[in-house]
Amino acid sequence: RLSPRSSHIRHAWDPHKSVAQNLADMGLAEDPNKAVPIPKKLLGMEVESDGQQPGKKIVRKPYVVNEMELEASLPEKKSNTLSRDLIDYVRYMIQNHGENYKEMARDEKNYYQDTPKQIKRKINVYKNFYPEEYKNFIASLKPEKMEVQ
């Protein structure tokens, strides 16, 4: 899927030509049903061919398709971050309830009415994304609990 900002089609578009002509010049199809027709045999109809091949269309701007294929072949960039809301939610739950997931599920801040299993899964996602931050957060909670006792 191409982003609208870097569209190769927009740069190659000729406003003086029709949509069909612009797409044909780029080697793209206006109507996918005509571009890749279903053979009559598959539809259950036997049709005799007259032996003539329809004329090939001339692609005047093949670089558009080439650039689109190149962009599509690049690996997708993965975002390795979690939303600030999820991080705050998980930290709040751990800070107030430790590892008691049933208690977390009954907490008033559980706006999405997550089940204990869903909360545990969110905490595990946070642990996997930010192992160092999680370890430091848990370490910072230990002294507070000792002071309370």
What DSSP assignment string belongs to 52-73?
A: PPPPPPP-S-HHHHHHHHHHHH
| CA-to-CA separations, 106 to 97, 102, 111, 112, 130, in angstroms, rounded | 11, 7, 10, 11, 26
Digit-coded pLDDT (tens) for 106-125: 999 999 899 999 999 999 99
Asked whether the predicted pLDDT for residue 82 surpasses 60, the reply is: yes
CA 55, CA 58: separation in Å to the nearest integer?
9
67: Cβ–Cβ under 8 A, 6 or more apart, which residues? 8
Report the pLDDT value the prediction gives residue 88, as an integer from 0 to 100: 94
Tens of pLDDT, residues 9-48: 888 888 999 988 888 888 888 888 787 777 766 555 454 4
Taking the alpha carbons of 2, 65, 28, 18 in that order, is the dihedral positive or negative? Answer: positive
Domain ranges of the chain: 7-73, 84-142
Q: What percent of the chain has pLDDT over 70?
A: 78
pLDDT of res. 59: 77
Handedness of CA 26, 31, 35, 36 (dihedral sign): positive
Highest mean pLDDT among 4-18, 42-56, 79-93, 102-116: 102-116
pLDDT at 41: 66
Structure tokens at 138: 């848990």
Sequence letter at residue 71:
E
Q: What is the pLDDT of residues 55-78, one digit of tens each?
A: 566 778 888 888 888 888 888 776
Largest CA distance in the chain: 93
Give me the pLDDT at residue 58, please: 76
For 58-70, letters b (16+ CB in 10 Å) and e give eeebeebeebbee
Burial call 96-115: b when 16+ CB within 10 Å, e when fewer? ebeeebeebbebeebeeebe
